[in-house]
A = this chain, B = another copy of it.
Amino acid sequence: MHPFIQKILENTQRLGHHICLGLDPDINKLPHHYERSLKGVSYFLYDVIEATKEHVIAFKPNMAFFEVFGVEGIQLLKDIRQKIPEKIPVILDAKRADIGNTSEKIAHYLIRYFNADAITLHPYMGFDSLSPFFNYAECFHFVLGLTSNPGAKDFEYLELSNKNKLYQSVLSKCNEWHKTYKNIGVVMGATQNIDWARQKYPELLFLVPGVGHQGGNYQESVENSKNSQQLTIINITRELLYASEEKKYLEILIKKLNSYKDIKK
């Protein structure tokens, strides 16, 4: 079993939910008792990771929310990554891909420099833009399939001459590549109808954003997105990370997280 899948399986069984916590720090949404500065952001993230690391199946930092602070923000991402225990995988949400020799460099940055357990990729440029990432066997790769934003209709939903939609063709390729590489999944937005994808490719692992603030329902998303191993990764960011601005924020956050266990029963 792939080491990333192994960790997701163990954490899911231990916790009784499928929640990955998005780590997208926003200086304007910090609870009131954190300083509105990069220093405040770092204390906030250290506190969140310390409080939740036994309560989530994975963490998903989105690089952009660190890059916006420049090199100091990127250094912070590297620093907080060290605070995450090995059993909790880090999905580094970077949404990248380029021609092969460039993708090699990006892969080194994401997978070696940040020690990501999994990353996200843009499919547009095709196989040789992605294979330099797939070649890192120990890393898992979520290729964008069907996203939950309105713009999904512009290209992802375009009908091909074989009557499939573009995103269906992307899934088909990912499924094929996964058979060779054993380390590929897809991003499938919670607000989309994913039944077709789930039935057609029962083994593919889905990373499901869009639950909570973006409109998706947790329980429905779990039922619709679980693969043949009963695994799915439901990413929630805003509803949890900004659960409250009060002093007892961490308490409220944990309470919210635990409430998802009850939904399961």
Contact = CB atoms under 8 A, between A and B. Distances in A.
Interface string A77-93: 01000000000000001
B95 A122 contact: yes
Contacts of A150: 126-128
A70 to B, nearest CB: 5
Contacts of A65: 102, 105
A93 B70 CA distance: 17
A159 B95 CA distance: 25
A13 interface: no
Interface residues of A, number: 55
A129 B102 contact: no
A104 to B, nearest CB: 8
A158 B68 CA distance: 35
A12 interface: no
A100 interface: yes
A64 interface: yes
A62 B96 CA distance: 13
A74 interface: yes
Contact of A62 (B68, B98, B151): B98
Given A62-B102, A149-B100, A161-B160, A155 B67 contact: no
A125 B151 contact: yes
A67 B129 CA distance: 17
A196 interface: no
A67 B71 CA distance: 10
A109 B153 CA distance: 27
Interface stretch (A3-11, A46-54, A162-170): A162-170
Interface in A101-132: 102-103, 105-106, 108-109, 113, 122-130
| 10 tightest A-B CB contacts, nearest first | A126-B151, A126-B154, A64-B105, A68-B105, A159-B161, A67-B109, A128-B151, A122-B122, A127-B151, A64-B106
